[in-house]
Amino acid sequence: MRLSELGEKKLIELVMKLIRVNPKSLLKLGLDDADALRLEEGVYVFNTDFVAESTDKLPGMTYRQLARKCIVANAADLAAKGAKPEGFLASVALPSDFDLSSFEEIFRGLDQGAAEYDSYLLGGDLGEAKEVLISVSAFGRVRKKLISREGAREGDLVAVTGFFGWNTLAFMALLEGLELPDEIRKKALESAFLPKAPLREGLILSESEVVTSAIDSSDGLYASLDHLSKTSKVGFLIERLPVEDKLVKFVSKRGLDLIRIIFYGGEEFHLIFTVPPSDWEKVRLSLCSEGLTVIPIGKVISETKIVVVHDSRKITLHEGGWEHFTS
Amino acid sequence: MRLSELGEKKLIELVMKLIRVNPKSLLKLGLDDADALRLEEGVYVFNTDFVAESTDKLPGMTYRQLARKCIVANAADLAAKGAKPEGFLASVALPSDFDLSSFEEIFRGLDQGAAEYDSYLLGGDLGEAKEVLISVSAFGRVRKKLISREGAREGDLVAVTGFFGWNTLAFMALLEGLELPDEIRKKALESAFLPKAPLREGLILSESEVVTSAIDSSDGLYASLDHLSKTSKVGFLIERLPVEDKLVKFVSKRGLDLIRIIFYGGEEFHLIFTVPPSDWEKVRLSLCSEGLTVIPIGKVISETKIVVVHDSRKITLHEGGWEHFTS
């Protein structure tokens, strides 16, 4: 069945069956088109991210995964600031001949994503466009400290909350035909199709009050370090690669470029954060005691460069590539 | 120049030159991708609306007007709830061969719209899609009373904050080739290209605390009354048409259907609200004393119908059309 056969009213009724309603809502979602909440005083973070079918729907990815991923991208941005999502808004643009079951999958994916972060869809807009486009806005309350991208200081340690490279392998497999062994393929596709936002990590970092800067790594590890570098006016010396052994083995066996795979991927929603060395152990413990991953990868340097120690050599990363350290 | 020649970083730098930055922002927009604000305790309204070029950009409309109209649509939804915008988020999807000057116009339009409601863009997302799509989310704090769509009671008066029909004439002129005399054409196109959100009206109604229900008329006067009717479980008897004499004269001279033009348009962002008769004079005065338009158009009835008295006859409106009253 096509959307055009149902019309907007029926579609909205259907959406209301697919999503949970926030018990704290002060307006009746579905009957009203906006929503209202009583908020307590505090610092709130606002973010928006969209996905378009032509750009973001990987081969083999379902609409449900695409929609959920848009929620995850928003939740990751909030997590990086130390904020817990209070609600999501979703604008969903669809071609009129779009099929009804995929429509349902989009809203299941949105609601599933919101539920994973203990939150709700607060409202939305539904309309026609030439391709599928899902735009999500999120707002959330800062747990304790608002963490920004500026504040990293020379001597701080830099750490991440997950391993990198799986997503790049997934892109290479899906878009360039790279063949992957089953075990590697499974990890890679899970990273690309079902990413998770580091929300618990972000809230713990906010609570610690000692983190000097943070960013989520959705633009890729190099680009995200570069954002932190430019905003904090510092550089990074990366002495340990945040990568799993089985990925390293696979990459080396195939003769692939490990640095490129780790640093120049994207859509891996880990946190990258900086913390003074004296506070490191406290932060590490607070994450580990909750069963969360945390990997120290290096330190903040004064020069605004991103330098990586790899195979006992120093290399400097640049936009779009890397080169051996020359000075 | 095309967007693809510049790249995302340069485009974001350009955006930051085109928009004002909220002095209350706690993060550095442009360097950070989310924004944070300290909010005081209260009831906040959240809304999202998008426009797509293929559906919403009328012939002759500029990108600046299209972008501004998306802000207006959001502000109107907030106004209907009695909330003042605190900020807007904008996701802007564009084809890669989109031209740079139109790109600038989009952000000028977004910022202009936000400025008109004494507010700011808080953040956004920029990306590629097959057509231009602008999705705006808005949040605002309720001035005093949160006004919903339910609460209209039998006997309440129903009133609107503007005249209807101009937009329908604009659509007929732009999409169907209806010829309009200069004076009529000017009013009609202004309504379609440069609509205004009834924000001052909404805040005054919220402050009065006596309004029982409200909605903005963006879906058209009939459809909006129908929403109020379904949510409040009442009906409406419309005894006075909210229309200007010069429109009536033109429509009758051309033999056009006045009821259709007034009730079945859309994107006229006036408020429709209900108020107990005993509070009417107070509400009317509070709007008039600020130089704002308010037109009583009828009353709330118990039967869930929308009945219009026109040319001394009663007609009942339905979805998509009207018929003479038969019972």
| Per-residue model confidence as pLDDT tens digits over B278-317 | 999 999 999 999 999 999 999 999 999 999 999 899 999 9
Mean pLDDT of A140-152: 97
Chain A residues with CB-CB distance to B90 below 8 A: 48
- Contact indicator for B260, B267 with CB cutoff of 8 Å: no
The answer to whether the CB atoms of B31 and A227 lie below 8 A apart is yes
Listed residue (B131, B117, B220) closest to B167, CA to CA: B220
> From start to end of B34-170, where are the E strands?
35-39, 42-52, 83-94, 121-128, 133-142, 157-160
The answer to whether the CB atoms of A52 and B91 lie below 8 A apart is no
The answer to whether the CB atoms of A32 and B231 lie below 8 A apart is yes
Nearest CA in chain B to A139: B36
Cα A320 from Cα B7, distance rounded (Å): 13
B30 to chain A, closest Cα gap in Å: 10
ipTM of the complex: 0.93
Among B5-9, B165-169, B232-236, the range scoring the smallest mean pLDDT is: B5-9
pLDDT value, residue B32: 78
Q: What confidence tens digit (pLDDT) does each residue in B95-145 have?
A: 999 999 999 999 999 999 999 999 999 989 999 999 999 999 999 999 999
Q: What confidence tens digit (pLDDT) does each residue in A9-40 have?
A: 889 889 999 999 999 999 987 777 789 999 99
Q: What confidence tens digit (pLDDT) does each residue in B245-264 have?
A: 999 999 999 999 999 999 99
Please say if the pLDDT value at position B38 is more than 70. Answer: yes
What the block records as the tokens of A248 is 């390293």
pLDDT value, residue A223: 94
Chain B residues with CB-CB distance to A32 below 8 A: 148-149, 231
Nearest CA in chain A to B86: A46
Q: What is the mean pLDDT of chain B?
A: 94
Q: What percent of chain B has pLDDT over 90?
A: 89
**β-strand A295-301 against A157-160: which pairing, if any?**
antiparallel
A–B interface: beta-carbon pairs under 8 A: 199
DSSP state of B32: B
pLDDT value, residue A235: 98
Q: Which of A26, A54, A131 sits opposite B43 (nearest CB)?
A: A26
Q: What confidence tens digit (pLDDT) does each residue in B10-20 have?
A: 898 899 999 99
Please say if the pLDDT value at position B31 is more than 90. Answer: no
Q: Which of A28, A41, A150 sits opposite B41 (nearest CB)?
A: A41
Q: What percent of chain B has pLDDT over 70?
A: 98
Mean pLDDT of A215-239: 96
Please say if the pLDDT value at position B29 is more than 90. Answer: no
Please say if the pLDDT value at position B174 is more than 60. Answer: yes
> Tokens 């910022």 identify what position?
B111
Q: Which of B50, B80, B150 sits opposite A93 (nearest CB)?
A: B50
Mutation pick from B35, B47, B70, B77 vs chain A, by most beta carbons of A within 10 Å, is: B47
Chain B residues with CB-CB distance to A142 below 8 A: 36
pLDDT value, residue B327: 36
Mean pLDDT of A220-245: 97
The fold of the A157-324 domain, in CATH, is Phosphoribosyl-aminoimidazole Synthetase; Chain A, domain 2 (3.90.650)
**β-strand A83-94 against A121-128: which pairing, if any?**
parallel
Q: What is the mean pLDDT of chain A?
A: 94
A33 to chain B, closest Cα gap in Å: 7
- Contact indicator for B39, A44 with CB cutoff of 8 Å: yes
Position B325 confidence tier, pLDDT thresholds 50, 70, 90: very low
Mean pLDDT of A127-150: 96
Nearest CA in chain B to A27: B148
CATH of B3-142 given 3.30.365.10, 3.30.1330.10, 3.10.20.30, 3.60.15.10: 3.30.1330.10
Listed residue (A270, A315, A6) closest to A161, CA to CA: A270
For B47-79, letters b (16+ CB in 10 Å) and e give: bbbbbbbeebbbeebebbbbbbbbbbbbbbbbb
Q: What confidence tens digit (pLDDT) does each residue in A293-323 have?
A: 999 999 999 999 999 999 899 999 998 766 5
pLDDT value, residue A325: 45
pLDDT value, residue B114: 98
Please say if the pLDDT value at position A153 is more than 90. Answer: yes
Cα B327 from Cα B320, distance rounded (Å): 20
pLDDT value, residue A323: 57
Q: Is residue B280 classed exposed, middle or buried when 0-12, 13-18 and 19+ CB atoms within 10 A define those classes?
A: middle
Chain B residues with CB-CB distance to A89 below 8 A: 46-48, 137
Listed residue (B235, B303, B54, B267) closest to B164, CA to CA: B267
pLDDT value, residue B323: 56
Chain B residues with CB-CB distance to A4 below 8 A: none
Nearest CA in chain A to B215: A32
For B192-224, letters b (16+ CB in 10 Å) and e give: bbebbbbbbbbbbbbebeebbbbbbbbbbbbbb
pLDDT value, residue B4: 85
Start-to-end C-alpha separation, chain A: 64
Listed residue (A130, A111, A272, A270) closest to A199, CA to CA: A270
DSSP state of A3: G
Nearest CA in chain A to B131: A130
> Tokens 């063949």 identify what position?
A179
Mutation pick from A139, A217, A226 vs chain B, by most beta carbons of B within 10 Å, is: A139
Is B327 or B220 the better-scoring residue by pLDDT? B220
Q: Which of A28, A31, A142 sits opposite B36 (nearest CB)?
A: A142
Q: Which of B44, B129, B230 sits opposite A36 (nearest CB)?
A: B44
A104 to chain B, closest Cα gap in Å: 20
Chain A residues with CB-CB distance to B125 below 8 A: 48-50, 135
Mean pLDDT of A41-59: 96
Nearest CA in chain B to A57: B129
Mean pLDDT of A61-74: 98
Q: Is residue B190 classed exposed, middle or buried when 0-12, 13-18 and 19+ CB atoms within 10 A define those classes?
A: middle
Mean pLDDT of B217-234: 96
Cα A226 from Cα A149, distance rounded (Å): 11
Q: Which of A44, A124, A148 sits opposite B39 (nearest CB)?
A: A44
Nearest CA in chain B to A79: B34
Please say if the pLDDT value at position A326 is more than 80. Answer: no
Q: Domain spans of chain B?
A: 3-142, 157-324
Listed residue (A162, A188, A158, A312) closest to A256, CA to CA: A188
A309 membership: H or E segment, kind and range: strand A306-310
